[in-house]
Amino acid sequence: MSDLSTSLDSQWEEICTLLKADIGDLYFKNWIKPLRVVDIEDNEARLAVPTRFIRDWVSVHYLQKIQKHWSKINPDVETVDLIILDFPSLKNEKTEAIISESIEPYTEEAQRPPQKTFIISNEQDDKIQGMAALDPRFTFENFVVGKPNELAYAAAQRVSDAKEVTFNPLFLYGGVGLGKTHLMHAIAWQIRRNNPNRRVLYLSAEKFMYQFIRSLRFKDTMAFKEQFRSVDVLMIDDVQFIGGKESTQEEFFHTFNALVDQNRQVIISADKSPSDLEGMEERLKSRLGWGLVADIHPTTYELRLGILQAKSEKMGYHISEKVMEFLAHRINSSVRELEGALNRIIAHSQLVGREITLETTQDVLRDLLRANDRRVTIEDIQRKVAEHYKIKMSDMSSSRRVRAIARPRQVAMYLAKHLTDASLPEIGRKFGGRDHTTVMHAIDKVDELMASDKNFSEDVVFLKRMMEA
């Protein structure tokens, strides 16, 4: 047994060395380093990957290489399989210590085979049956705070660090992909960190219902009730799911009351405020609103930019400011989509081995960008251009003629012509009632300057890309 573990790790180490030489340090660090060897069974070596994204990428790009190297080193290995395993992030230092300790060569003192690591990190989950696995990336440290989510973030932290239950329940709500689940997991991690003995149960409302129905079918509703009522903290995600489901609601209502009565913390998330929940009994709605209700607003440009910076840094990628600004402007739906966009451009850049530019970004994300588009209006253009050149929006229609103001105004007219269907007289009207010949002159002027001044041209192209449909 101990021989096997040692050889397993050293085989993997050897393969890593070969791969590193083959694909280079950067790709190695991004795609291979997160993998962990699990075991070999029936001629199949199994590697654990932390996320589906990495698994898909590795299986397309590196699996064959890994297989080839492996069967050369160990002819018993015919195939390699990648499995997604929930283990706390490798960025989490404490866990990293555990994991790297376990991939050290096996010694007599350390009576612990490497695969044990995963069990250790999930130990707490196993205590409570039905507990959903917590995502290791969803921590407070990884949550970027901005105006739209600062209240929810503060409330989440308060509840995690509180010695006594003050707000009950904490009700977090907001649109899709804005970080509700992330915050819920962060609370669970934090409570565990503060006090590992507190029993925290996190699950989705869907899972709650599923377990409830199961308990009815198997006639063990007592055990079901017991399980929920014995926890210190109950977290139910996406509670809107039980809208219209009467008996589940009834059961949930009782569970909820029992916990609150015993002064146990309850934390709920939903896509709407308690009073706006559909198909929900009045008494439940009103009960849900008793504690602290915190909403997460749609993202702002600043928050999106902050998230992009944090994520690309975390992934060890340098992405130019222009590209990030571009993404923050143009992907204005959910954080989930923003992350998806970032992953896609990084994956693409790795694939073609070239740096990420504005052009490739636009190319790779064409469909996503289109979906995020709303039609640009002349006002949008004026605002954007004014912001860019740091002049006042009102100067777009003022009669001031100093160059520092007239030039941006001309650029805005030029963009209005290229990005909207407005006619020259219409454009003129929107710029303080100017004549269409003035607009024409502006367009010519901008064309002329773009041909002669490279910096100016880059600016205009950048602005255009920012707003283009």
Residue 83 and residue 49 in contact, taking contact as beta carbons nearer than 8 Å: yes
DSSP assignment letter at 234: E
Q: CA 130, CA 203: separation in Å to the nearest integer?
A: 8
Residue 330 binding: pick among ligand ADP, Mg ion, none (C-beta 5-8 Å cut-off by kind): none
102 touching Mg ion, by CB under 5 A: no
Please report which residue ranges of 180-245 form alpha helices under DSSP H. Answer: 180-194, 205-217, 221-229
CB atoms within 10 A of CB 260: 18
Helix (H) or strand (E) holding 49: strand 44-49
Selected from 339, 380, 426, 468, the binder of ligand ADP by CB under 6 A is: 339
Which of Mg ion, ligand ADP, none binds 307 (CB below 5-8 Å, type-dependent)? ligand ADP
* Min separation Cβ 346 and Mg ion, Å: 24
Binding residue for ligand ADP, selected from 57, 87, 118, 138, defined by CB under 6 A: 138
Name the 3-class secondary structure at 386. Answer: helix
For residue 244, the minimal CB distance to ligand ADP (Å) is 20
* Residues 260-299, mask of contacts with ligand ADP (x by CB under 6 A): ----------------------------------------
Site string for Mg ion, 151-190 (x = CB under 5 A): -----------------------------xx---------
The answer to the question of residue 204 lying near Mg ion (CB under 5 A) is: no
Contact 326, 189 (CB under 8 A): no
Among 32, 132, 267, 307, binds ligand ADP (CB under 6 A): 307
> Got the DSSP string for 311-328?
HHHHTT----HHHHHHHH
Q: Which residues pair with 182 in a beta bridge?
A: none
State which residue, 144 or 284, has the beta carbon closest to ligand ADP. 144
Q: What distance in Å separates the CA atoms of residue 59 and residue 127, rounded to the nearest whole number?
A: 33
Please, which residue, 175 or 432, has the CB nearer to Mg ion? 175
Q: How far is the CB of 239 from ligand ADP (least distance, A)?
A: 12
- Dmax of the chain from CA atoms? 88
The answer to whether the CB of 354 falls within 8 A of the CB of 360 is yes
- Per partner kind, with CB cut-offs from 5 to 8 A, the member of Mg ion, ligand ADP, none near residue 434 is none
Residues in region 147-206 near ligand ADP by CB under 6 A: 149, 174, 176-182
| Closer by beta carbon to Mg ion, 180 or else 409 | 180
The pair phi, psi for residue 269, each rounded to 5°, is -125, 155
The nearer residue to ligand ADP, 339 or 468, going by C-beta atoms, is 339
Q: Which among ligand ADP, Mg ion, none contacts residue 201 (Cβ within 5 to 8 A by kind)?
A: none
Residue entry with tokens 């959903």: 132
Residue ranges of E strands in 264-417: 265-270, 292-296
Does 92 interact with ligand ADP (rule: CB under 6 A)? no
User: Pairing state of beta strands 170-174 and 44-49?
Assistant: unpaired
Enumerate the β-bridge partners of residue 45.
40, 80
Closest contact distance (angstroms) between CB of 87 and Mg ion is 21
* Footprint on this chain of Mg ion (rule: CB under 5 A): 180-181
* Footprint on this chain of ligand ADP (rule: CB under 6 A): 138, 142-144, 149, 174, 176-182, 307, 335-336, 339
